[in-house]
Structure 1
Amino acid sequence: MGFNWKVAGCAGVLSLGVALSSSIASAAEIYIPNLSYRTGPFAATGIPLMNGQRDYVEMLNARDGGVGGAKLIFDECETGYNTNKGVECYEKTKSKAVVTQPWSTGITLQVLPRTNVDKIPILAPGYGFSPMADGEVFAWAFNPPISYWDGASMILNYISDGDLSSLNGKKVALLHLDHPFGKEPIPLIEKLAEENGFEFLPIPVGLKEMQNQSAQWLQIRRERPDFVIMWGWGAMNAGAITEAVKTRYPMDQFVGVWWSGYDGDLKLVGEKGKGYKSISWNVPGSYPVMDDIKTHVVDAGNSLLDSPEDMNSVFYQRGIVISMILVEGIKAAQEKFGTPEINAEQLRWGLENLNITDEVLADLGMAGMTVPFSTSCTNHTGHGGGWMLEWNGTEFVQVSDKLMPDRAVIEPLEKAKAAEYAESNAPWPDRSALPCE
């Protein structure tokens, strides 16, 4: 009987099809959901951050086929910055996720106890509960590269020229969102005010007052603080900056946390906002990584940016840094456990063993874009420091050398508050099941 090329051809196609199906079915994927907020009163600042996070991941997928042989599945679950919706998103995404990114201190506090049970790490870069730095208590929570208490320390060090005793007899106001996020720096500032003899004046801004802060700025005019520190977010920042200009508060005495340093808010007042400052752990600029994102994502039509010019935003580039931190944790876990498709427990190890050096940043095309830092079993933040940015009338520019937090003051408070949290949420697991490596 002769050889049947038609049958052989069909068999070959079938064999190839089976092989392709098998290959597709076995392709490694890593699911990294993001509890985003592109809607609601915080959308203006949430959108550029989410866009930056997303575009870095999409660039890696397009340029490198993912990370370590695994495609990254970046999925957003919209919370509107609402805590209840955030918890719903956490529950909805946790079964497949290797990480949860809550994107709100309120949501972070709600899911914090659940992650011990679900064994899924929280990644909250530059936000969340400051005592999460204590890895001996919070084994599943990470907030690199600096915490809110680190930020408050750096701001106070900057305005006092490195000598907090020089603030003796002066008045420092904290204009803050009346929300867990906005209340974060209060314990540390209270402590430092008592130790250094300055008056601390907290001024809360309710969620319904964000766009109309006339009462708060009337109080500022009456109290005449020497400095106003802003712990604001979303619509609150634009409202505060507009009121400061209107009331002619000296902008060079007005300093914000890194979430109060959004270009779009300052563009509303332009030259009149000149001198306003914001502490930051990223510096906007033209970095090689930006060229790769433009080539593989923006120019390819796979970005959600309204305009390529938005790539220059402080927050868009901070989103890139945030996804970089997550990806470096994934890489560390892949190398440690010898698998491209890591799970949540393996990523926890990766996030606990980050080592973001100047050399690593240079290799990533991000030299100078963010601060070097490392994490460990006991240190889940890294405490890498930051820079002061200043609005020059058209953009934010770096105006300081790298600033560092006063860890000798902060660390005892972290440990005390971490122990207090564990006691009030007893039974709280110790690290015996997760020995340090």
Structure 2
Amino acid sequence: MKTFRTLALATAVSLVGVGAMAEGIFAPNLTYRTGPFAATGIPLMDGQKDYMTMLNERDGGIGGVPIMFEECETGYSTEKGVECYERTKANAVVTQPWSTGITLQVLPKTNTDMIPILAPGYGFSPMANGKVFQWAFNPPASYWDAASMIVQDIAAGDLGSLNGKKIALLHLDHPFGKEPIPVLEAMAAEYGFELVLIPVGLKEMQNQSAQWLQIRKERPDNVVMWGWGAMNAGAITEAVKTKYPMDQFIGVWWSGHDADLKQVGEAGKGYKSISWSMPQPDAPLLADLKTHVYDKGMSEAEDTNAVFYQRGLVISMILAEAIAKAQEIHGTGEINAAQLRDGLENLDISEARLEELGMSGMVPPFSTSCDNHTGHSGAWMLEWDGEKFVQASDLLMADAAFIAPLEAEKSAEYAEANAPWPVNESCN
């Protein structure tokens, strides 16, 4: 069996050969395996952990340096998340907040603590602007990318057809759930559709009767769900109960959890979710995981083919590739946080690289740069077929021309509100 390596170029390996004697790279993860969001958090965290375990078991880490991938439990609480950040930051090369609320609290600290934030597919969308947010990264796609792609899918590529239609945004009443609103409001004004905002409070996640009563009254052409954790299962159950057409119900990538749809089975057929990751049960990576992790009893994962578990694998791959790139750039194995920032800013996840990693088709190719900290990879639409999620579209791409001015505007507003805020004027 061919072994697929996650190390960078051979030249990088020679540069960091001293890594065999290194203590390790501390990469903490602010997890939530408890609380109302645990059902969605656990498979993601399992995927992340298993990928790093595989690298340590198979390769001795990255560039010969072991990865110390420790978890700090937040329960998705912003307060606990900030406590975890403060507890782990002394030796950390990265912060993985795992909550838009935590990300927003940590973001102002980045310019002084100089520890990069890695928030794959979440966080504050204007973080894409690397000139302003020099220490924050949200590859491979942002929430604003997701909103753009969802609306394009609803319009079947003809945005003019949206004129006079009504789209409801069923969203968690939390910073995460409010993220798409600026783009959706701008698109509603541009293309003539009515946007109806329907918030779901943290205490209402499992009882959304009031929200679905409003949906029945409003009779929207489509419902877009920006949900997480228990909210998703509650919304899908209510949609089935009220006989809302499931083929008019679309979720963000955190609302495409297999277990939520398995609760309703065939009745959920037609529900869709945008996704920048795609499960690949036959990916060569899975064979390496079986040999080096599963067969050794080192994994707690229940379903290794699930959307969220495999997305966790992709997330840790992004971090591992950034570490390897930083080692290559700086010629050292035990990188620090500032050096990892350079790795995150120079990612090149190409089709060829994904094939080398044994991960072809698991994520679209993307790259980052000093002014592009997201990569804007594009995403696929997944659809529930009654038993599992299947691919329902070719690769969709966000409308960059529409989103970029809004990113510039909102990042400038953030910098002004948090002045003095350093901006990288040399980045072109």
TM-score, normalised relative to structure 1: 0.92
1:295 aligned onto 2:291: yes
Q: Distance in 1 between matches of 2:238 and 2:88?
A: 40
Matched letter for residue 298 of structure 1:
Y
Pairing of 1:12-411 with structure 2 (within 5 A): 26-286=21-281, 287-305=283-301, 307=302, 310-411=303-404
Q: Distance in 2 between matches of 1:46 and 1:99?
A: 19
CA shift at 1:28, angstroms? 3.8
Q: Distance in 1 between matches of 2:19 and 2:415?
A: 45
Highest CA radius of gyration, 1 or 2?
Answer: 1
Q: Distance in 1 between matches of 2:192 and 2:152?
A: 14
Q: Which runs of 4+ in 1 moved over 3 A?
A: 23-26
Residue aligned with 1:405, SS: coil
Matched letter for residue 41 of structure 1:
P
Q: Distance in 2 between matches of 1:182 and 1:24?
A: 42
Matched letter for residue 86 of structure 1:
G
Say whether the 8 Å CA contact 1:119–1:344 is kept in structure 2. Answer: yes
Say whether the 8 Å CA contact 1:333–1:346 is kept in structure 2. Answer: yes
Matched letter for residue 327 of structure 1:
A
Q: Distance in 1 between matches of 2:121 and 2:364?
A: 12
Name which of structure 1's ranges 423-432 and 140-149 shifts more when overlaid on structure 2. Answer: 423-432
Say whether the 8 Å CA contact 2:22–2:333 is kept in structure 1. Answer: no
Matched letter for residue 276 of structure 1:
Y
Q: Distance in 1 between matches of 2:192 and 2:402?
A: 16
CA shift at 1:27, angstroms? 2.5
Say whether the 8 Å CA contact 1:147–1:383 is kept in structure 2. Answer: yes
- Structure 2, unmatched stretches of 5+, are 1-17
Deviations 1:376-435 (A, max 9, x none): 000000001000000000000001000000000000000000000010111111226xx5
1:417 aligned onto 2:410: yes
Q: Distance in 1 between matches of 2:404 and 2:22?
A: 44
CA shift at 1:294, angstroms? 1.6
Aligned twin of 2:3: none
Name which of structure 1's ranges 251-260 and 279-288 shifts more when overlaid on structure 2. Answer: 279-288
Deviations 1:107-148 (A, max 9, x none): 000000111100000000000000000000000000000000
Aligned twin of 2:14: none
Residue aligned with 1:384, SS: coil
Percentage of pairs with the same residue: 72
Matched letter for residue 299 of structure 1:
D
Say whether the 8 Å CA contact 1:28–1:69 is kept in structure 2. Answer: no
Deviations 1:253-300 (A, max 9, x none): 000000000000000000000000000011112211111112211110
- Structure 1, unmatched stretches of 5+, are 1-22
The one of the two structures with greater contact order (alpha-carbon pairs below 8 A, sep at least 6) is: 2
Q: Distance in 1 between matches of 2:156 and 2:20?
A: 59
Say whether the 8 Å CA contact 1:68–1:331 is kept in structure 2. Answer: yes
Q: Distance in 1 between matches of 2:81 and 2:180?
A: 23
Deviations 1:333-358 (A, max 9, x none): 00010011100000000000000000
Residue aligned with 1:230, SS: strand
Q: Distance in 2 between matches of 1:193 and 1:382?
A: 25
Matched letter for residue 362 of structure 1:
E
Say whether the 8 Å CA contact 1:28–1:340 is kept in structure 2. Answer: no
Q: Distance in 1 between matches of 2:203 and 2:189?
A: 32
RMSD: 1.2
Q: Distance in 1 between matches of 2:378 and 2:20?
A: 44
Q: Distance in 2 between matches of 1:116 and 1:128?
A: 17
Residue aligned with 2:93, SS: coil
Q: Distance in 2 between matches of 1:248 and 1:25?
A: 59
TM-score, normalised relative to structure 2: 0.94
The number of equivalent residue pairs is 410
Q: Distance in 2 between matches of 1:196 and 1:339?
A: 51
